[in-house]
Structures are given as structure tokens and as C-alpha cells.
A and B are shown apart, each in its own frame.
Chain A
């Protein structure tokens, strides 16, 4: 039996972003680095899917 240990880069991350109207949109977005980028970009890039 050959085993490989998965590090955090193999874990999926859920992120939530909130629009100006207060609607919260949830995505299973990305690896950890991309998830952080997504939440910081949310207000400027309208990462939420409702606007």
C-alpha cells in the first residue's frame, strides 16, 4: 500500500462574500491562497454572484 499525505493545498475552502445589499453569497472557492484573495477582492471586484 503506497500512501501520500495531503497538505493544506489539497483541502477545499469555502468563502462567503457580502454584497452592498447585505446578500451573502457562498462559494466553495479555492485553495487557501485563492480563497483569501477572493475575500479581499470582494468589495472591489464584485466577487459575489448577485451583482
Chain B
């Protein structure tokens, strides 16, 4: 990377291509290419145009994708001050099966009496918008770098960035546009600058973000909490919500009614409602839902049941016409559920194999799956298993459960339509609190998982990203 290289002719060409749409934008967002002459955005490797991206070199296509995303953001925000994004493609950490795709964020934060909330940190681009001038002229407000080796041997082998802009991503490739939309969102202000580990604020000053975080357990916002309370709130699953009016007003137009839940009806010792993660495959959970006895698959020497292979006769008897309890691990969720379905199960509960909560959803896709499935935490799953009794003929009895939804609440919001923020326990460094919760449905751009069903919209009825940014002052 050449640190101070400026916009190249390749950049200029792409920006010119987008000139018409940029001209109508409410804020101009410019990409500052800091790559060297034959790398990253300037990589001369010939490529064929793909998915609406007209570039004919790898570098041109990368730059077009960045400019395309800048154009989307530019059309959705307002500011008299142009935004400069310093950007580069560099080799980042990789293995054959995992890779850092990229990183992004604001470069500076500010507080001042001229900003709406006193003694509060504002991200650079937002502070510029509010004061109406560039606080540090010529200095980028955002910085971003993405992985130049993605898809090469040893770096998520064979799975490069998809550089098309049509959201039609081939299987096994990574959608650069959606990833960039998400990361730019953080850089524009979709994050707290307060430590989620300790609750400590930068120089004891809260972020503008923290004014809108409200914990239903504590009954107060983050800005009124001690450091210890904030740290506890950051790992308080589905109790931390966003209390901004723009998001709350828009939530019913975006999120579906019905929060996934598992209800245990018997035996008495475990009766109650448990948190559940919904599956991205199979039928949607409904109300009143599916009520049946549960049966546990046991196909491993340690007493667990992976259901990664067709169930044998003993396990088929355990789950036939019942809701099968299987354990996470080794194979895909769709494989487990399909094997249970083929054995006669009418629903599946996947028990997580790692401690923590709330339960994430079940990813994957298989149109052949026709029964509902959920995920529960390891702790809850162990409670369920302990409540089962096996008859001599291996018919599990005693545990009656319901897979359904709580239709009184939006999926991913509390009873007041305040959207939940991601606050898993244990904490996920850099991710907790600065995302919407994974229980939101429809899926949102600013959830921690960048889901494959996202559109390129940042607005209701598809998304809640821009309403949140409006809450903090955009």
C-alpha cells in the first residue's frame, strides 16, 4: 500500500461512470484509493464484466463495487460536507476455510458544545454534517481495507468476492457489496465507542450511541449506568434495546410479528418458555405452533445424537411422530433435520454444543425440509434431555413441547417495539452492542451475520439501518 497515493485514473473512470447517480445524492461519498500502482484497486488482471459491474480489470471492478456502495449510502443520508473513505485491498489473515474479509470504521470522534448532546462522542462524518464544515479538511472520515487474497489457495479457497452489483451471488462466493454496505454503516456511526468488556467510556465520555441503549432489566439507559452495569448489560441477552424514535416507529413496518419460542408443557419441573433460534429453512414457526412429545436421538457413544446419518431403527422409534432432540455438531443443520424428518419426526430441536446464549438461528437451505426446527442453548437442551424418560422399547416419554411464536411481539423487538441489540453471553468482542440482535426477522443489514437474503436497501420496509442513523443525528 502506498500511504498517500491519491485517486488514480482508474478511480476517476469509475466515478465518472457513476456521475449521474452521484449527482443526485444527498451526500457525496468519495473513495480515496491508497493502493500501490499494480495492487488492490489498481490490479491490472483482466476480468470479464460481471453482474452489472462493467470493469475489465480486477482493480476496476473492486473500485466500481466500492463506488456503487458509496453511491447507495450517499443517496440515503444528507450532509453538506462530502465524506472521504480511505480504502485499500491488502493481504489479510486467512486459512483455507476462514478469512478476514475486511475491516472498516470511523477514523476520529469528537465532542463539543456545538454538537446537539453535550459531552458526547460523535463519529467524524456525523460531526461534520452537524457543524456543516470539514473539521479536519482533507482527512478521511472512514477507513476501510479488504482482503486482496480472498479465494486464492490458502485463503478461503475458491471463494472470492463476488464483484457484481446485482445481488445475484453464486454459491460459494462472498458478496462484496453487502459486506461493504454493512461495514460502511459502522464507519458512519452504527457503533458504540464504549468498551463492552468493562463498560468504560473513552475519556469517561459516552458515545451518542449510548444515549439510545436501554436495558429492560436495569430499567435505565446506558448513559445512566455505572461501568459495571454497562458491562453486565452488554451480556444481557435480549434485554438491551434501542430506544430511538425513528427505529421504534419503523419497526412494525419491517419486522414480522412473532418471536420464536419453545414452550415446555410437561413435566412440571421444566415447564416454561425458553429462548429459541429460528431456522432459515423449512416452514416458518407459527401460532399456535406444533405441540408434541419430544424424543431424543442418541447415536454417539457419549450419549449425544448428531443425526448426521440416516437414523437407525432404534432412533427412528424414538422420534417418529415426535419432535426430535438432536445435538449440534459435525454436519449441517439441514442434514440433521432432514434425517429426523425421514425417520418420521414432525419437528426438531437442535441443542447447541457450546455454552452461551441466546441461541442463534439455524442457517442453511434445503427445500426438501418440510418440518419446523429451532435451536436452544446447551443449558436449556440439557434440561430437556434430563426430563425425558425412555421406555423399554426406546420410546421417549414425558416431555411435551411446543414449537411456536409469541405473536404479541415483533421478531427482534420488545413489547414496546424497541428493537433488540446484540448482547450475547459471552460477549463477542467488537460485535456485541454495535449490531441489531440476531432474532430480528426479516433479517437486517446490521445484524452480526451478513445473511444471504439481504437486499441493498437501507430503509423500511426492507431495513432499519437508516432509521437508527437518523436517531443519532444523521
Q: Which residues of B line the A interface, CB within 8 A?
A: 93-112, 114, 121, 135-136, 143, 150, 156-157, 159, 171-175, 179, 182-183, 186, 191, 193, 202-203, 328-335, 353-354, 360-364, 428-431, 434-435, 448-450
Contacts and interface: CB of A to CB of B under 8 A. Distances in A.
Nearest to A21: B332
A11 B145 CA distance: 10
B332 A30 contact: no
Contacts of A24: 156, 159, 172-174
A6 B193 contact: yes
Q: Is the interface of B mostly helix, strand, loop or mixed?
A: loop
Q: Is the interface of A mostly helix, strand, loop or mixed?
A: mixed
Given A12-B103, A12-B430, A4 B156 contact: no
B97 to A, nearest CB: 5
A39 B183 CA distance: 18
Given A5-B108, A46-B329, A30 B156 contact: no
Interface residues of A, number: 47
A12 to B, nearest CB: 4
A39 B95 contact: yes
Nearest to A11: B105
A46 B254 CA distance: 31
B156 A49 contact: no
Interface of A: 1-6, 8-36, 38-40, 42-43, 45-51
Contacts of A14: 100-103, 179, 182-183, 450
Contacts of B121: 4
A31 B432 CA distance: 10
A32 B333 CA distance: 28
B450 A26 contact: yes
Contacts of A9: 430
A8 to B, nearest CB: 7
Contacts of A25: 363, 449
A49 B449 contact: yes
Contact of B99 (A4, A8, A16, A46): A16
Nearest to B422: A28
A33 B428 CA distance: 11
A29 B430 contact: yes
A44 to B, nearest CB: 10
A1 B124 CA distance: 12
A51 B364 contact: yes
A26 to B, nearest CB: 4
B169 to A, nearest CB: 9
A11 B104 contact: yes
